[in-house]
Amino acid sequence: MAPYDGPVTGPLPTDPLEGTVLDGRYLVEARIATGGMSTVYRGTDNRLDRPVALKVMDSRYAGDQQFLSRFQLEARAVARLKDPGLVAIYDQGPGDQRGGLPYLVMELVDGGTLRELLRERGPMPPHAAAAVLRPVLGGLAVAHRAGLVHRDVKPENVLISDEGEVKLADFGLVRAVAEAGITSTSVILGTAAYLSPEQVSSGNAGPRSDVYSVGILAYELLTGVTPFTGDNALTVAYQRMDNDVAAPSSVIDGVPMQFDELVLRATARDPADRYADAREMKADLDAIAAELNLPAFRVPAPRNSAQHTSAKLYHSRDGGSRVGEAEPVRNPTRQFTRDDWPEPATAPVLGGDESYSPAGQFAGIEISEFAYARARGRRMMLFWLAIVLIVTGAVAAAAWTVGSNLSALLSS
């Protein structure tokens, strides 16, 4: 799904596709989001009477035969993949030389994107990060086994349903666009923070490239920031050529050593030093979760998502009202200090209506409570340390006194 940058509050520009029927079957209802390559709409499959998501490619791709051929091949390959961690592809329309727009018909995930969740809540404790990474790696593992590479793993392409399902979207689109020779700018601008060094240097990508991107994603889940920053996308992209990713624990307290090792191995600059594929990385993540006894976690969908706004927009039209879309609101990633880190052991398993927490909370617990518990723990540690030092000093003093007077005691 294309990224979304803010709530819908202003007048909505007329969209010529809304209200139309694609190929006599798919009713286009309301726009969800617009990105560099496509626009996503919520729609209805009139033949099967089910809701769908319609990803309509930008008009510059219509009539480009090289792109259309690759687009069809990728869509067919991805449609064969079956995994709970992947957004299902139902159908595709190839467009034509007369200007018809190519489109994908996908499973509609009622919820939002991981990007929207990170904006609402900031960094995650390890057990929550693991709950996001496990289905992402599971979906990638199925694709890697089938010989497919995603090439664009990032929070915008990870969808979270209202039921807590985590699914990876947009397989194959980057390859179709790149091989048609139409882009470079839009793709790089959208993915600079997550590109592997070999993608930057040569444009080549394999399963280990996806592993690198998942490593960057894991780093961001744990810390709330990406490891490389710069004035522009190219600066960000090229930093990874000469710099290693730092351990997440160097940015924020509370990250277990095992997660540091997971991220560092996944983001090694030399592909040979990374996990071979998503299956190997997932196996390591599962072993870490078992070793640390991480609790189960139901990943909450973002409350103020583009998908939810689109649903409200569509339903509001029945009453004659029309909600509008604001100019993009770009929120910088929240900077957390070390004392803001929530203790993993105290975060509960979410379920039902507990999946939403207001600002200042994660997993329904006030951040201030985490801070209080941490401060109390530190005070108790200092108290017992003082007791140990006092007792140790008293024992040492007694031993010294007895030792210095031992000869006098023996002679008497």
5 is an active site residue: no
| Residue 43 structure tokens | 């729609």
Length of the chain: 412
> Residues 58, 152, 170, 210: which is the catalytic one?
152
User: Which residues are known to be catalytic?
Assistant: 152
